[in-house]
């Protein structure tokens, strides 16, 4: 039996000696590399938090002491040490272990935090609540890293935490200098100053080598180290906020981290423990990966680390390549991203036009309003962001961009069901949210050719903002139109006037397959792709007058989605045809493969065809509620 196999909860590591702890860290790294390469997931961040997590669970008593993670993708080691090791065989798979903290999995997970920069606000509220309840013996520890400290919300929380010197919150800054890519901005520069002070680095190395095997002396040294640090490394940023500062600490030295955490726990007020870690630490391939240190990996060969399978070009890569072509012809086109240069497809653009790409860190609110300013200055900003993260900048989109009619292009990657990353990363709200924004145009291309065309159309718009949404994964083959109706692509047509099936974006293949099934059952079905969803094309309204039933299918919420928008437009125009909208139910979805989740939502071709057929049959049957009644 390995040492790791004897660990079933945090109590099992508290009695281990220094040699055993080092061995445990090594076993955990081997375990992570093997398991995460088999399932896919966030490898690099977790390899960097092994020793830090061990030290946290040796000093604090979870779950009574609350250990909160931001961002949540760095909590795999926490899961291992809290009894979930066996679940890693089904990491991020349907019915298996979530890739983020999950309250349904364990009492050790307080928050399901995968949108960054929120943990300090949770910690502030928990500490206030514990104090009001008289529970003064409970610690609140907030681990913030992978660029999350660049987010504005984190600094709003720090402003409040620092204003209460008697409120015990331990803030662990897991500083690996990166989010997906190297962290940018003034904060990154300040942390780098703390991280790279030569005299202090030499002092850290000396203390580690000379005193690591004498824990009492090591801990005593860390207790007086603050004074030495004041002379050798700057710390003004946190001190000026009224926060006690400990560090920098070698985050891969369990004894050093443990000593700093014990000192912080006894301080009685808010304190920052600055831990230096290396993303991908202990895995040669990750350490050599200068792009993102294997931040997130797909299913790979554990022996070689090479990805398995060749899914073909992705939606993201098609967007990125087309933007480069546009940028070559239009020097006013600039790109904005929030710490996700490569994940949103902007790496090639940044390489060719480095002065025309702005990475603002994990700060979507700032990204959106900064883009408005760029537009006011005569530029054409393209804001590339995951659909789920645009919600963080909605007020800015509404009031700072749309109200000023700024021609900002929002490119929403990972729209619809993304799957593996779970509830927080599904981009299933954007059509419902963006549909209420005055003057905002919205496109949902069905394939790569339509994505390229939509992007060129969007950057040519001068009188207001636009948004283009597309899903995660391979783009698939282009879907040609069989006909056109006043500029609207017709993807399938069979004789008859039973059903007008309106497909939204990447649901086109599903809609066409459902239509073929319905045609085989004797129904007349026409499938159309409006491409631009908002504003609704007047030609689509005229076309709907010719059919007994209008059906929409989208990978967005049914509530407030495209089906709702089209139904409203048809009612306003006096079109009698009822509308049946098929989409995602109003609930948070568990993690799993996109196809499986869509099927659960009734959005497979088989389920869609069956449901439409039942509606038609109900309309024809005497004494059964009619379609018009059902649509209300």
Active-site residue list = 279, 364, 392
**Of 410, 428, 408, nearest to 418 (Cα)?**
428
pLDDT at 591 (0 to 100)? 86
d(CA 468, CA 171): 38
Helices 215-232 and 198-211 sit at what angle, rounded to 10 degrees?
170
d(CA 591, CA 425): 9
Q: How far is CA 266 from CA 138, 259, 275, 276, 308, in A?
A: 12, 11, 18, 22, 49
Q: What is the pLDDT of residues 608-620, one digit of tens each?
A: 999 999 988 887 6
**Helix or strand holding residue 172 (H, E):** strand 169-175
Contact of 268 with 166, CB cutoff 8 Å? yes
Structure tokens at 80: 């291992």
Helices 50-59 and 18-39 sit at what angle, rounded to 10 degrees?
130
d(CA 601, CA 584): 6
Binding-site residue numbers are 73, 114-116, 146-148, 176, 283, 364
Per-position DSSP letters for 168-194, written without gaps between them: -EEEEEEE-SBSSSB--SHHHHHHHHH
pLDDT at 212 (0 to 100)? 56
What is the bridge-based pairing of β-strands 532-534 and 441-443? Answer: antiparallel
What is the dihedral sign for C-alpha 384, 388, 393, 397? positive
| Dihedral Cα 507, 508, 509, 513, nearest 10 deg | 100
What backbone torsions phi and psi does residue 232 show, to the nearest 5 degrees? -105, -20
Mean local confidence (pLDDT), 527-542:
97
Structure tokens at 13: 């590591």
Contact of 344 with 411, CB cutoff 8 Å? yes
Least confident residue range of 127-136, 226-235, 281-290, 358-367: 226-235
Task: Sketch out the chain's domains with CATH numbers.
Answer: 4-287 (3.40.50.970), 315-469 (3.40.50.970), 485-630 (3.40.50.920)
Binding-site residue numbers for Mg(2+) are 146, 176
Q: How far is the first Cα of the chain from the last one, in angstroms, to the nearest whole number?
A: 63
Residue 460 clears pLDDT 60, i.e. is over it = yes
| Arithmetic mean of pLDDT over the chain | 88
Q: What is the pLDDT of residues 76-101, one digit of tens each?
A: 999 999 999 999 999 998 889 999 99
Q: What is the pLDDT of residues 113-132, one digit of tens each?
A: 668 889 999 999 999 999 99
d(CA 394, CA 607): 34
d(CA 110, CA 93): 22
What backbone torsions phi and psi does residue 534 show, to the nearest 5 degrees? -135, 125
DSSP 3-state of 171: strand
Residue 214 clears pLDDT 80, i.e. is over it = no
Residues sharing a CB contact under 8 Å with residue 323, sequence separation 6 or more, in sequence order? 333, 335, 345, 346, 349, 382, 455
Structure tokens at 209: 């080598």
Return the half-sphere exposure (C-beta side, CA atoms, 13 A cut-off) of residue 224: 6
Residue 2 clears pLDDT 50, i.e. is over it = yes
d(CA 45, CA 174): 10
| Share of residues in the chain with pLDDT > 70 (%) | 88
Sheet bearing 66-70, strands edge to edge: 66-70, 140-145, 169-175, 271-276, 244-250
């Amino acid at each position: 039996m390995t040492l790791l196999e004897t660990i079933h909860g945090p109590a099992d590591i508290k009695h281990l000696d220094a040699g055993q702890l080092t061995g445990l860290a090594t076993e955990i790294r081997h375990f992570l590399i093997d398991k995460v390469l088999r399932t896919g997931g966030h490898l690099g961040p977790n390899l960097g938090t092994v020793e830090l997590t061990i030290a946290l669970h040796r000093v604090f008593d979870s779950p009574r002491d609350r250990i909160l993670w931001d961002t949540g993708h760095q909590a795999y080691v926490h899961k291992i040490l809290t009894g979930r090791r066996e679940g890693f065989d089904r990491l991020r798979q349907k019915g298996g272990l979530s890739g983020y903290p999950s309250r349904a999995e364990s009492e050790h997970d307080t928050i399901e935090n995968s949108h960054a920069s929120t943990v300090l606000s949770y910690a502030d509220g928990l500490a206030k609540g514990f104090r009001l309840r008289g529970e003064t013996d409970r610690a609140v520890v907030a681990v913030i890293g992978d660029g999350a400290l660049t987010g504005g919300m984190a600094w709003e929380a720090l402003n409040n935490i620092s204003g209460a010197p008697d409120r015990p919150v331990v803030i662990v800054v897991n500083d690996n200098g990166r989010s997906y890519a190297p962290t940018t901005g003034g904060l990154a520069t300040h942390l780098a100053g703390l991280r790279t002070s030569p005299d202090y680095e030499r002092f850290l190395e000396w203390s580690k080598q000379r005193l690591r095997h004498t824990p009492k002396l090591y801990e005593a040294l860390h207790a007086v180290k603050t004074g030495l640090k004041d002379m050798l490394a700057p710390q003004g940023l946190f001190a000026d906020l009224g926060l006690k500062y400990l560090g920098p600490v070698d985050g891969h030295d369990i004894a050093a981290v443990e000593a700093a955490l014990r000192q912080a726990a006894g301080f009685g007020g808010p304190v920052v423990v600055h831990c230096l870690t290396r993303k991908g630490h202990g895995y040669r391939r990750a350490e050599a990966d200068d792009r993102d240190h294997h931040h997130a990996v797909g299913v790979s060969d554990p022996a070689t680390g090479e990805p398995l399978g060749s899914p073909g070009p992705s939606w993201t890569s098609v967007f990125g390549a087309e933007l480069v072509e546009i940028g070559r012809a239009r020097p006013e086109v600039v790109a904005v991203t929030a710490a996700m240069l490569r994940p949103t497809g902007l790496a090639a653009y940044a390489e060719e036009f480095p002065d025309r790409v702005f990475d603002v860190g994990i700060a979507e609110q700032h990204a959106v309003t900064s883009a408005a300013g760029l537009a006011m200055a005569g530029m054409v900003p393209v804001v590339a962001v995951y659909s789920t993260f645009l919600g963080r900048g909605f007020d800015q989109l509404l009031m700072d961009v749309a109200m000023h009619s700024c021609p900002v292009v929002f490119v929403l990657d990972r729209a619809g069901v993304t799957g593996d990353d779970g509830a927080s990363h599904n981009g299933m709200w954007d059509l419902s949210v963006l549909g209420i924004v005055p003057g905002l145009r919205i496109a949902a291309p069905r394939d790569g050719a339509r994505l390229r065309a939509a992007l060129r159309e969007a950057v040519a718009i001068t009188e207001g903002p636009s948004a283009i949404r597309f899903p995660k994964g391979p783009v698939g083959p282009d879907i040609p139109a069989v006909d056109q109706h006043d500029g609207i692509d017709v993807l399938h047509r069979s004789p008859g006037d039973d059903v007008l099936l309106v497909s939204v974006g990447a649901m086109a293949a599903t809609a066409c397959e459902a239509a073929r099934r319905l045609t085989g059952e004797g129904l007349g079905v026409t499938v159309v792709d409006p491409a631009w969803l908002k504003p609704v094309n007047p030609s689509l309204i005229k076309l709907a007058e010719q059919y007994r039933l209008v059906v929409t299918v989208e990978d967005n919420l049914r509530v407030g989605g495209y089906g709702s928008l089209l139904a409203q437009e048809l009612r306003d125009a006096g079109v009698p045809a009822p509308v049946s909208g098929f989409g995602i139910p109003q609930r948070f979805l568990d993690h799993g493969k996109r196809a499986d989740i869509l099927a659960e939502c009734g959005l497979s071709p088989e389920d869609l065809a069956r449901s439409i057929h039942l509606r038609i049959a109900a309309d024809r049957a005497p004494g059964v509620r009619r379609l018009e009644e059902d649509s209300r």
